[in-house]
Amino acid sequence: MPSQRTRAGDVLRFTWGALRGYPTRTLLMLIAMAIGVAAVVVLTSLGEGARRYVSNEFASLGTNLIIVIPGRSETSGLNPTTLMGETPRPLTLRDAMALQRSFHVRRMSPVTVGQAEVSWKSKSREVVIMGTNNELLAIRHWQMAQGRFLPKGELERATPVAVIGKKIRNELFGASRALGQWIRIGDRRFRVIGVMGSEGRSIGVDVQDTILIPVASAMQLFNTPSLFRILVEAKSRSAIEPAKKFALKTLQERHQGIRDVTVITQDAVLSTFDRVLGALTYAVGGIAAISLAVAGILIMNVMLVAVSQRTSEIGLLKALGATPHEIVRLFLAEAMLLSLLGSLLGLLLGQLGSLVVRHSFPEFPAYAPLWATLAAVIVALLTGLVFSLMPARQASRLDAVMALQKR
Amino acid sequence: MIDLEHIHRNFQVGDQTVRALDDVNLHIEAGEYVSIMGPSGSGKSTLLNLLGLLDRPSSGIYRLNGEDVTSLSDTQQARVRNREIGFVFQMFHLVPRLSAEENVELPLILAGIPPEQRRPRVAAVLEGLHLSNRRHHKPEQLSGGQRQRVAIARATVTNPKVLLADEPTGNLDHKSGQDVIRILEDLNHRGITLIMVTHDQEMGQRARRQLHMLDGRLLNGQRNDDA
Ligand SMILES: Nc1ncnc2c1ncn2[C@@H]1O[C@H](COP(=O)(O)OP(=O)(O)O)[C@@H](O)[C@H]1O
Ligand SMILES: [Mg+2]
């Protein structure tokens, strides 16, 4: 006794034949589906690209970074120091050195920033001066073009040496040799010991347009007791939290129990961006998915047309013994096959689209996330299924006699 | 084999009721050759569709092999149709995108028969109807007579007990019509129950049993052995 149920392979073959029998209709639906899926892929790859771009930018700041800023962040509202109208205590070099005494800290770099007149021979200009120590090179993953970076050794020693950015090197020295030359910064003289090689487009500072000098020299130069920032690199990702706690506790102890610094972790900032851009990606993905729903409505209409075009064929199938269920199956299979082919085409187009974006903007990593790709295909298939249910049922309910009379 | 008792089939057209079949009583034995004749609109097709389970009576009982088939569900009726009944239409009703062979294969596909069992059966019926060399042709590449032969092959590939033909020669020239009738009669000789609607007196009279319809009524529903 045969199973009385059309075999899956036969359904597929019959359906494939039907699709090829109406090429215009098939093409139209394929394109509608493909555009929907491609839109999801391209838009989410842009969103994901933005997320990765920001993430990379942050990574270039340094890894496992903790940043200590003098003063309490405004967001924490009222606190004793603002109530008493005191200015926060300065963040000193000794504070910075105290932060090194933790097991969780790998590197520490104090930073102070200012502007000064820089001159060599007859040339001079205003330059951003950054006072720091040897560790900054490693923290920021910078490279030297020539010479060496600031010397290791005591933080409080004001050695008169300078490392200059590439742009400054070109502007001040032109074709002459920069290394070993004495330049004037403000009212002091510094010997050039190195030239920065890094691209150094990291947020806030353009290394190529900066001069780096020992932090003690910079504090003397700008006559300030306070650091602008302390950068702390934790030993690992998991050491970030304990290192942050350690920094807060140590500085509070050193500042007579008053918590007058803000400690931010790069992680926190990054995860905020991550969340925002991640949400954005979901949003554009969702919007693009709406175009899939539009494709679904198109599918419904075209399937309805298909049912009326093939009325006599449906009548015939019934006369040959197709059950209503079989007719539904055949039409659903047709819609599903279309959706599947359409989404494959869409994936191809979408990948091509992101490839073009990546090619045109090499620093922008526009890769569609896997979840979006899968979701697009699943939504496409579901749309195809849902919107072809009604036409399929309509086909299965056709009156066989009437259907056969139609030409 | 076929038993119709007080079959009525009414169509509602606007506020008028058309009695397409009006108290039809009919008994047909297995292996009979029956022709149904009558003027256009007398209810011949309606009767044939009813016999083929494509339509349901408004009232009355239809027994097929002793089983009341009027109470079966659409799905159950479809299965009976697939197993027991073959249709031949005036308009051939071949699927244009499918080859002769694929058209013949359709009822077997719908029965869920695997390809390796289908192929020899399809080849055999096509061979029997001298269509082997046309098996890859599309319907549009075939003559009317060939098309109807493909349709007959399709109707008989499942080995049905009953073959229902609604004006099978209506769209054919005289010679092809004669061929088709001979094929159908040959099938009848080999045991199939043949019920054929025709408005062609000459053809109808070849049947051992002739039924005449008028305004939905069967004029001689009882057995007519002197024909
Ligand atoms: N679906 C239908 N709706 C309304 N009237 C119909 C329908 N089918 C058949 N009829 C009517 O029923 C009668 C019998 O039709 P039919 O069986 O096709 O006649 P025949 O095949 O003998 O020419 C005709 O009057 C026809 O108009
Ligand atoms: Mg008729």
pLDDT band at B224 (very low <50, low <70, confident <90, very high): very low
Backbone angles phi, psi at A142, to 5 degrees: -85, 160
Question: Among A174, A159, A164, which Cα is nearest to A118's?
Answer: A164
B221 pLDDT more than 60 = no
Residues A39 and B91: their CA atoms lie apart, in Å, by 47
Average pLDDT in chain A = 86
Contact of B168 with B36, CB cutoff 8 Å: no
B196 pLDDT more than 90 = yes
CATH class, B2-223 region: alpha beta
Nearest by CB: A7 against B52, B74, B112: B112
Are A7 and B75 a contacting pair at CB < 8 A?
no
Are B93 and A5 a contacting pair at CB < 8 A?
no
Average pLDDT over residues A150-174: 91
**A221-263 tens-digit pLDDT:** 999 888 988 999 999 888 888 999 999 999 988 988 888 888 8
Token pair of B54 as six digits: 């494509």
Are A317 and B111 a contacting pair at CB < 8 A?
no
Nearest by CB: A320 against B55, B106, B113: B106
Position A277 scores a pLDDT of 82
**A12-51 tens-digit pLDDT:** 999 999 888 889 888 988 888 898 889 888 888 888 888 8
**A333-344 tens-digit pLDDT:** 988 898 899 999
Mutation pick from A12, A316, A330, A405 vs chain B, by most beta carbons of B within 10 Å, is A316
Average pLDDT over residues A62-76: 75
- Indicate which residue's Cα is closest to atom 21 of ligand 1: B45
Contact of A165 with A207, CB cutoff 8 Å: yes
Average pLDDT over residues A61-76: 74
User: Which helix H or strand E contains A133, and what residues bound it?
Assistant: none
Token pair of A27 as six digits: 């093409």
Tokens 């070109």 belong to residue: A170
CA-CA-CA-CA torsion sign (B54, B59, B60, B65): positive
Residues B15 and A405: their CA atoms lie apart, in Å, by 23
- The SS3 assignment for A84 reads coil
A2 pLDDT more than 70 = no
User: Which helix H or strand E contains B125, and what residues bound it?
Assistant: helix B115-128
CA-CA-CA-CA torsion sign (B72, B74, B76, B78): positive
Cβ contacts of A250-254, under 8 Å, gap ≥ 24: A250/A95, A250/A98, A250/A99, A250/A101, A250/A102, A251/A68, A251/A91, A251/A95, A251/A98, A251/A99, A254/A94, A254/A95, A254/A98
Position A69 scores a pLDDT of 86
Lowest mean pLDDT among A74-78, A177-181, B146-150: A74-78
Q: Is B40 in the pocket of ligand 1 (CB under 6 A)?
A: yes
Distance from CA of B226 to the nearest CA of A (A): 34
Token pair of A19 as six digits: 């699709």
Q: How many residues does chain A have?
A: 407
pLDDT band at B154 (very low <50, low <70, confident <90, very high): very high
Position A76 scores a pLDDT of 47
Token pair of B169 as six digits: 């020669």
Pocket test for ligand 1, best of B9, B36, B46 (most atoms within 8 A of CB): B46
B164 pLDDT more than 80 = yes
Position A286 scores a pLDDT of 82
Position B226 scores a pLDDT of 43
Question: Among B100, B208, A54, which Cα is nearest to B196's?
Answer: B208
Q: Which residues contact A89 (CB under 8 A, 6 or more apart)?
A: A70, A255, A258, A260
The region, left, alpha or beta by phi > 0 then psi within -120 to 50, assigned to residue B53 is: left
Position B225 scores a pLDDT of 47
Average pLDDT over residues B142-152: 96
Q: Is B198 in the pocket of ligand 1 (CB under 6 A)?
A: no
Position A351 scores a pLDDT of 92
DSSP notation for B173-218: -HHHHHHHHHHHHHHHHTT-EEEEE-S-HHHHTTSSEEEEEETTEE
Q: Is B20 in the pocket of ligand 1 (CB under 6 A)?
A: yes
Residues A377 and A347: their CA atoms lie apart, in Å, by 8
Nearest by CB: B114 against A7, A321, A322: A7
The bridge status of strand B33-37 relative to strand B59-64 is: unpaired
pLDDT band at A1 (very low <50, low <70, confident <90, very high): very low
How far is residue A388 from each of residues A90, A119, A376, measured CA to CA in Å? 71, 77, 18
Terminal alpha carbon distance of chain B? 21
Q: Is B46 in the pocket of ligand 1 (CB under 6 A)?
A: yes
Percentage above 70 pLDDT, chain B:
97
Residues B173 and B200: their CA atoms lie apart, in Å, by 13
**A76-87 tens-digit pLDDT:** 444 444 444 445
- Indicate which residue's Cα is closest to atom 7 of ligand 1: B11
Are A317 and B106 a contacting pair at CB < 8 A?
yes
pLDDT band at B227 (very low <50, low <70, confident <90, very high): very low
Percentage above 90 pLDDT, chain B:
91
Average pLDDT over residues A307-316: 90
Contact of B212 with B224, CB cutoff 8 Å: no
Are A14 and B113 a contacting pair at CB < 8 A?
no
What separation in Å is there between the alpha carbon of A331 and the centre of ligand 1?
Answer: 30
Residues A28 and A110: their CA atoms lie apart, in Å, by 64
Are A401 and B54 a contacting pair at CB < 8 A?
yes
**B33-61 tens-digit pLDDT:** 999 999 999 999 999 999 999 999 999 99
**A180-233 tens-digit pLDDT:** 999 999 989 999 999 998 665 554 668 888 999 999 999 999 998 889 889 999
B84 pLDDT more than 90 = yes
Question: Among A339, A111, A316, A141, which Cα is nearest to A212's?
Answer: A111
Average pLDDT over residues A141-151: 90
Average pLDDT over residues B16-42: 94
A274 pLDDT more than 60 = yes
What separation in Å is there between the alpha carbon of B3 and the centre of ligand 1?
Answer: 22
Could you tell me the pTM of the whole model?
A: 0.72
Question: Among B41, B65, B68, which Cα is nearest to B57's?
Answer: B68
Terminal alpha carbon distance of chain A? 35
B67 pLDDT more than 50 = yes
How far is residue A228 from each of residues A111, A154, A162, A188, measured CA to CA in Å? 6, 19, 19, 21
Average pLDDT in chain B = 93
